[in-house]
């Protein structure tokens, strides 16, 4: 199949990479959630980040693509890296208190925020259909957070803040994608995450992990690194509009892991909120696909 850019696409392989990447990333998050019972989040981030960067550097070297790590717009890269760092800290702290599927679902509100922010920051026009989907999606977030009454889920604000910072970093990624490679963006962001977490990790709270726990810490990094590689490869193989909805398969992985490991299942109102968030996100991706094809 040939896409709008004139490139040959491999849709089946692209979808497989997206589902596998989302699965590996969610499994990595599951290990992180389990490890937060015994280790500070900053320590987990340092060890996990080191084993994300190392395979990525080796891969770039083996493929003869070390030049792709070159940075041409350091200011924008630094700003995106700071937002990425905030996203990682917020999301992983959210994992300590929220069920895995709930934490993942709220973080998936990011496409709604990106669409809303695209108007002032990217000068894009958003029609009434997408604005309606944004409102529906945020309605789903409110259903889960329950901001009124004694049943408020205050910890749900952590993945919601993740979605906000993630939206800003994705907008910056759009701005710099013409000059910065995906590897350089990931490398810069991961480096700042490790440096920031290291500053806080060695304040006396560092715990010497057992061999089993250290193996899990290493595994979280390797799984996360492999997941990011697959997610990048996804958009090389197939059109973004086709494969992007399959990113929501992470929710299925999260529900399965949460049920079998922690016996977590969303209640009825949480299910309703998840359906609103996912449905509106997929609808926005669909509408953007139609708009881009019409423009092409």
The DSSP-derived string for 86-109 is HHHHHHHHHHHHS-HHHHHHHHTT
> What domain range is 89 assigned to?
11-295
> What's this model's pTM, rounded to 2 decimal places?
0.85
Q: Is residue 59 part of a domain?
A: yes
Q: Is residue 58 part of a domain?
A: yes
64 located within any domain: yes
- Look at residue 5 in the predicted model and tell me its pLDDT: 46
Residue 241, pLDDT score: 67
Q: HSE-up of 103 (CA within 13 Å, CB side)?
A: 25
pLDDT of residue 2: 47
Q: Which helix (H) or strand (E) holds 273?
A: helix 268-295
Q: Does 35 reside within a domain? A: yes
Residue 275: its pLDDT value, please?
93
Query: What pLDDT is recorded for position 118?
Result: 79
| Residues of the chain below pLDDT 70 | 1-9, 63, 149-151, 235-236, 240-241, 296
pLDDT at 59: 72
| In-domain check, residue 191 | yes
Domain annotation covers residue 1: no
Burial of 72 (0-12, 13-18, 19+ CB in 10 A): exposed
pLDDT for res 135: 94
Task: Please tell me the total number of residues recorded for the chain in this structure.
Answer: 296
In a domain, 46, yes or no: yes
- 217/47 Cα distance (integer angstroms): 6
Query: By the 8 A CB rule, do 243 and 235 touch?
Result: yes
Domain count, the chain: 1
Residue 3 lies in a domain: no
**What pLDDT is recorded for position 149?**
65
């Amino acid at each position: 199949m040939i896409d709008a850019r004139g490139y040959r696409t491999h849709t089946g392989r692209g979808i497989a990479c997206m589902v596998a990447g989302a699965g590996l990333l969610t499994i990595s998050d599951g290990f992180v959630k389990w490890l937060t019972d015994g280790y500070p989040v900053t320590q987990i981030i340092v060890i996990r980040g080191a084993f994300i960067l190392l395979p990525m550097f080796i891969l770039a070297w083996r493929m003869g693509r070390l030049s792709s790590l070159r940075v041409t717009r350091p200011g924008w890269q630094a700003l995106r890296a700071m937002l990425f760092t905030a996203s990682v800290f917020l999301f992983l702290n959210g994992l300590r208190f929220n069920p895995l599927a709930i934490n993942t679902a709220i973080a998936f509100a990011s496409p709604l925020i990106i669409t809303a922010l695209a108007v002032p920051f990217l000068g894009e026009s958003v029609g009434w259909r997408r604005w309606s989907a944004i409102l529906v999606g945020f309605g789903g977030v409110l259903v889960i957070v329950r901001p009124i009454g004694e049943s408020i889920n205050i910890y749900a604000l952590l993945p919601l803040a993740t979605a906000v910072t993630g939206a800003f970093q994705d907008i910056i990624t759009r701005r710099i994608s013409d000059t910065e490679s995906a590897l350089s963006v990931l490398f810069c962001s991961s480096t700042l995450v490790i440096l920031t977490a290291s500053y806080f990790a060695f304040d006396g709270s560092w715990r010497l992990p057992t061999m089993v726990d250290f193996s899990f810490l290493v595994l979280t990094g390797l799984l996360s690194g492999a997941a990011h590689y697959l997610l990048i490869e996804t958009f090389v193989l197939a059109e973004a509009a086709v494969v992007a909805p399959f990113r929501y398969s992470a929710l299925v992985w999260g529900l399965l892991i949460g049920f079998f490991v922690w016996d977590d299942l969303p209640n009825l109102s949480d299910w309703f909120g998840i359906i609103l968030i996912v449905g509106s996100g997929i609808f926005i991706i669909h509408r953007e696909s139609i708009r881009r094809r019409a423009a092409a």
